[in-house]
Structure 1
Amino acid sequence: MDKCHANKSIRCSVQQCKNHCSDADYCALESIQVGTHEMNPTEKKCTDCESFQMG
């Protein structure tokens, strides 16, 4: 990503993601999709950012 346009509504610290703004801990996407890999999620670790793309 050449010039990152940080979405100040979406904080992100996953620097390996293609949509991460390297100069700040924000995502460049307009919105993200959050999902789960569990049938009945009960903890934060049960959720996933389904918008993640390897950078």
Structure 2
Amino acid sequence: MNRPEDQKIHCSVKSCQYNDQVKYCTLDSIQIGPNGSHAKSKEETDCLSFEVETQ
């Protein structure tokens, strides 16, 4: 991934197939959505681009 630091997507979800197993998402862009009808905190949001890593 050869993007400038300010354009990288940080991710700590190691079980996602798009996580580089260090600290970045390998997708060019991601989709974020609410976890429920009206998000009021970061805990109430989800990465809709998540795909479970298959071995």
TM-score between both structures, scaled by the size of structure 2:
0.79
1:28 maps to which residue? 26
Superposition RMSD in Å: 1.6
Figure out how many residues of one structure are paired with residues of the other and give that number: 50
Identity of aligned residues (%): 36
TM-score between both structures, scaled by the size of structure 1:
0.79
The runs of 5 or more residues in structure 2 that have no matched partner are: none
The runs of 5 or more residues in structure 1 that have no matched partner are: none
Q: Would you tell me which structure has more helix in proportion to its own residues?
A: 2
User: What stretches of structure 1 move > 2 A for 4+ residues in a row?
Assistant: 5-8
Q: Would you tell me which structure has more strand in proportion to its own residues?
A: 1
